[in-house]
Structure formats: structure tokens, C-alpha cells
Structure 1
Amino acid sequence: MEYFNITNQHLLIEVLQSWNGLSLEKLFRERWKAPKKLVHEWRMSKELMLNGNSVPWSTVLTEGDTISIPLLDDAEKENVKAADLGISILYEDDVLLVANKPAGMDTHPSQPGDANSLINGVAYHLQHTGQTCMIKHIHRLDKDTTGAVLFAKNRLIGSILDRMLEEREIKRTYLALVEGIIKNDQGEIKEKIGRDRHHATRRRVSPTGQTAVTHYRVLNRDSKKNLTFVSCTLESGRTHQIRVHFSHLQHPLAGDTLYGGRRTFPRQALHARKIEFTHPISEQKMTIEAPFIDSPEIFNVHLL
């Protein structure tokens, strides 16, 4: 076993050296910060095992020990309809995966019965590969934004990743083409974002909105086409954040007609290029990149 795997609907985890001296209780409550309800459920069921035995939660862990966590309820509660949508899986192990979302596709169903979203395509991949597990998206991308989306395959990993996202321990890097030539090589956009009262789906910069910070770096400038190629990271994850912030700077994303951009491309030129995080179980540094998947291409001709 290499740190963890799934066997007979149990997640088997090998205790790492960095967990030496921790009790089961401290591993779940302090290291992983697992939800109290979930921990209580496992305590009551007495199905959680250490080296094949049911032990008190005060038991101290030693490197090489094996923790067995039951996952049957996760599979039973799964209710995502599978659909063959040709989704590309960028990374996968027994507890999580990263998929490359195409343009024109929601991250999850927008209405009951819809089966054309990314999560439906990921559910098909799991079904096709014989995996009977739940699937949960940790974050979302706009319908016409492409790129990396992180998914969890069980409730424990889902809760850990949710907390990591909230505590900004998951870094996402976006690439965008914006209209006009940005003079500064890098910058920070720090403007609150709220709903636009005059438009159902649009957001706007608003003093009463939610705090939002976008950091950007210029990668290239195309004076002939009057476009700037930028890399962005977010300190927050507000709806349409990058689109709203660059529109506010009078540099709307190319193709983003909702926020003042010209119809240069069939969609807004925004791609979630990279996702970085520490794996919740192995604690290894993960860096996963999503290749461009537009046809015809939007970004490649603007790369340095």
C-alpha cells in the first residue's frame, strides 16, 4: 500500500511519520479538522479500525500503522447521473481527482434532470472504471471558463478539501486575454464584488459587496490585436471575480460580452490553468496543470 487505497469499501491509510505520537482523536479533529458529525458517526458505528482492530480513539499512532475507514454510506448517498461527455481526467487517485472542464458546460447540473454538466461526465468516468464512490466538486468554474476542477471521492476528503479551500490552502492560477494593453507588469485589484440589481446573473464592483482580491502578472502584450495575456491568482473566489475586476479596470476579458468585451472569441478568454495543494492524506505537494482544449485555439498563439 502506498499511503492509501480503497479495499472493500474501506479507505485504508498508512500512518505517516509526521503523525507519530498523535492519537486517532487528534488526527481526525486537529490534523484533518474533520466535521464533528462525521467523527461522531464513525465512533458510534465502531467500524473504524487500526491494524484490523477496533480501538479506543485515544490510541496513539505509530508510523506504518493502518487506519481503515468505512465508506459504504458515501456510495449509498451518491445520486449523480452518469453521462458520457468525453471528460479529460488530469489526475486521479483513490480519494480525489482533477478534471479539465470544457467550455459551454456547467460544473454541476443547473436544474433537476440535467445530465450535461462536468460532474455528470466525471460520474461516467467513475462508473466506466468500476468505482462505486461518491463524487463532489470542491469549487466551480463559470459555464464558459475552461480548466482544472478538483473533486473528492468520499466525505472525509471532501470535508478536508472544503476547509483547505476556505483557508486558502488550495491555489488556483488562471490565464486570461484582456482587451487593451495593460502597462504595469503586475498588479493587485482589490475591489468588493456584489450582485448587479439590474441584471439577474451579472456581478459588479460594489462598496457593500464581498471582499475580493485578484493578483495579476502580464505574460505578453499583443499590440496588433490590442490584447494583453495575463496570469491571475485569487485571494477569494467570488462569482465572476476575474471578469468583474478586469472590466472595472476598463480591460474586459476578450469575448466576454456580459462585461463589456467584444465578441473576439466564442466565449470569455479565461482558463483555469493550474491547481496546487498539499494532498490531504499523503501530504505530498500536488501541482496539476490543465492544457488548453479550445478548438479553434484561443490562447496558444499568444504564449511567449
Structure 2
Amino acid sequence: MNHFKITWTVEKNEAPVLLRDYLKTKQISKAALTDIKFQGGALFVNKEEVTVRKVLNSGDEVIVCFPPESKSESMEAEDISINIVYEDEHFLVVNKPAGMPTIPSYYQPKGSLAAAVLFYYQEKGIPGTFHAVNRLDKDTSGIVLIAKHRFAHSLMSKKQINKSIKRGYIAFVHGKVERLNGTIDSPIGRNPDSIIERMVREDGQQAITHYEKIDYLRDRDFSVVRLTLETGRTHQIRVHMASIGHPLLGDDLYGGSYDFINRQALHSERTIFTHPFTDDQIKLEVSCPKDMKDLW
């Protein structure tokens, strides 16, 4: 069975060191080592299988084979094409179209991005299941970052917590946004009268959105804004823009209308992150889909 493998070469300034301590510097947790030991993974030094008590010397090759992963029973692969923006052995970045849920749900069990990615993995012989680093609402288009294995997902989750993954959006909102730029720092929580809707409320979770006005279309009375998030709350942009009197076009849940577009006019257009395995800075950008371009 295929495994995800990661290889390192021990540097002179790192040796001598116990394998257990060396792997700790690579952010492999005790829980991950337990999984490797008992769930079918393995550790190799210079192609010889070893335990975490192995002493490493300069120049040693360390290979970590992670346990095989299987897809969730609730997810089925479906032959749906995906628009790949970036791919390597650890990550897949996809430009998700509007109308496609990120994961299947009770209300829409078919046609999800997860199902499409699982089919792609199946066709390419890629072991693993669907690990979304970020999710987009069904009717929001744009960049979704997906980890190909659990360890990559764990490292990116830590980056999300320390706010080192930057995500940028473009939105069309009702009315003329007067300020050229601003910050909305308002906590968001559930609306007690709805199982879906969120709202600004004092006892909610901290949510911070920065926005910049880049255009105003006087004839249709809507503004084009770029947004960056410091936090990633459910419906954050939609709730925050509505809270300052500028709901998104097509977002009837938060006061927008379908006069110009039949879904919320929100697109995840860019992401920037430092690759956790190569330390390269990855910058990705995708332009607005046709329905938004046609309005602008």
C-alpha cells in the first residue's frame, strides 16, 4: 500500500541526536509517532527500519513513512473536473466554482469539491483522503487549499492559528462604501433564531476584516472591495459587510438582492503562505469568474 513519505538529511549542526528528538524539531508530535508505530507507518535511517531511539549522525538520511489513510465512509469519489492552481507532493490548490460545496452535506450530498478531489486522487494513484485547510461557502468561488496527508494538514492548521496564511477576497457590495479602506473588528456568533445565519454579537468569537474600496459603479450603486481576514469565522465577510450597511450582492441571507447576480458576489482571489516543507513562499492568485467579471 502506498504511504506518504518525507525525507530529510541530517545536517552537521544537528548531530549527534536521537531520532525522537530530531523528529520533534520537524514538528512530528508524540501522537503522530504513536500512529506511525501502531497504525502501519515506519521510520528509516539510511534505508534501515529503526526506532525513535536510533542515534543520528551528520549526513544520515531519515525517511518517515506515515500510516496509510483511507477516505471517510461518508465521502464518495465523483468524476467531476477540478481547476488546479498549484500542486506538489504535499498540497493541492483548487479554484472552486460557485455552486459547489466544499464537502458533502445532508442537503447536498453530491457534487462536492471533496468528491471531485477524491476522484482525482483515485485516478492519479494518490493515497489519502480529503483534508481541506480552508473551506469556502457553496456559493463563494475561488482558492481552496487542500493537504494531501494528515501531517501536512496539521502543519498548515498551526499556520492558520498563528495567522501566517494570508487570504484575500474580492466582493461586490450594495451601496457606495465611503471610506477608501477600513477595519471591521466585531465578534461573530450564531443567530439564535437560525441554524445557518451568523450575526455580530458581543459574546461571539473575535472576527477582524480589513477592506479596501477599489471601485464604485454609480449606475448600479454597488462598490467593489478587496478584503483580507485576520480570522476565519463562518460567513465572516458576509456578516461584517452587512453590519456596516453594505451587504454583498446576491446574498439574500444577509440583506443582499439578486438584482445583478444570483449568488453572493464573493471570490477568494489570492493566498500567500510559506511552504512548511521547503520554506518557499507560495503566492497564488486566480481572477474573478465570468459572472462577476460581467458585472464589473
TM-score, L = length of structure 2: 0.88
Contact 1:170 1:276 in 2 (8 A): yes
Q: Which residue of 1 aligns with 2:178?
A: 183
Q: Which residue of 1 aligns with 2:293?
A: 299
Q: Which moved further from structure 2: 19-28 or 240-249?
A: 19-28
> In structure 1, how many angstroms separate the alpha carbons of the residues matched to 2:93 and 2:21?
29
Instruction: Give the secondary structure class of the aligned counterpart of 2:152.
Output: helix
Letter in 2 for 1:84: D
1:135-190 per-position Cα deviation (integer Å, ceiling 9, x unaligned): 21112111100011111111111111111112212111111011111111111000
Matches within 5 A, 1:176-215: 176-215=171-210
> In structure 1, how many angstroms separate the alpha carbons of the residues matched to 2:188 and 2:85?
31
Matches within 5 A, 1:1-304: 9-15=3-9, 20-21=13-14, 23=17, 24-32=19-27, 34-42=28-36, 47-53=42-48, 54=50, 56=52, 59-60=55-56, 62=58, 65-74=60-69, 76=70, 79=73, 80-111=75-106, 114-263=109-258, 264-294=260-290, 297-299=291-293, 302=296
Instruction: Give the secondary structure class of the aligned counterpart of 1:48.
Output: strand
> In structure 2, how many angstroms separate the alpha carbons of the residues matched to 1:145 and 1:72?
34
In the alignment, structure 1 segments of 5+ residues that lack a partner are: 1-6
> In structure 2, how many angstroms separate the alpha carbons of the residues matched to 1:85 and 1:46?
32
Q: Which moved further from structure 2: 79-88 or 168-177?
A: 79-88
Change (3 A) 1:112 1:181: closer
Q: Which residue of 2 aligns with 1:3?
A: none
Change (3 A) 1:12 1:292: same
Letter in 2 for 1:272: S
> In structure 1, how many angstroms separate the alpha carbons of the residues matched to 2:261 and 2:249?
7
CA displacement at 1:31 relative to structure 2: 4.3
CA displacement at 1:61 relative to structure 2: 6.6
> In structure 1, how many angstroms separate the alpha carbons of the residues matched to 2:60 and 2:107?
44
Q: Which moved further from structure 2: 131-140 or 84-93?
A: 131-140
CA displacement at 1:35 relative to structure 2: 3.7
> In structure 2, how many angstroms separate the alpha carbons of the residues matched to 1:201 and 1:10?
37
CA displacement at 1:10 relative to structure 2: 4.4
CA displacement at 1:128 relative to structure 2: 1.8
Q: Which moved further from structure 2: 122-131 or 211-220?
A: 122-131
Change (3 A) 1:239 1:212: same
Contact 2:270 2:283 in 1 (8 A): yes
Contact 2:2 2:127 in 1 (8 A): no
CA displacement at 1:221 relative to structure 2: 1.7
In the alignment, structure 2 segments of 5+ residues that lack a partner are: none
Instruction: Give the secondary structure class of the aligned counterpart of 1:298.
Output: helix
1:109-148 per-position Cα deviation (integer Å, ceiling 9, x unaligned): 1139923211111111111222222321112111100011
> In structure 2, how many angstroms separate the alpha carbons of the residues matched to 1:290 and 1:60?
44
Contact 2:4 2:149 in 1 (8 A): no
Count how many residue pairs are aligned between Structure 1 and Structure 2.
290
1:196-231 per-position Cα deviation (integer Å, ceiling 9, x unaligned): 112221111101111100011112221222111111
> In structure 1, how many angstroms separate the alpha carbons of the residues matched to 2:150 and 2:57?
22
TM-score, L = length of structure 1: 0.86
> In structure 2, how many angstroms separate the alpha carbons of the residues matched to 1:261 and 1:147?
20
Contact 1:107 1:117 in 2 (8 A): yes
> In structure 2, how many angstroms separate the alpha carbons of the residues matched to 1:25 and 1:261?
55
Q: Which runs of 4+ in 1 moved over 3 A?
A: 14-17, 22-28, 43-46, 55-62, 76-80
CA RMSD in angstroms, aligned pairs only:
2.5
Instruction: Give the secondary structure class of the aligned counterpart of 2:42.
Output: coil
Contact 1:82 1:115 in 2 (8 A): no
Letter in 2 for 1:269: A
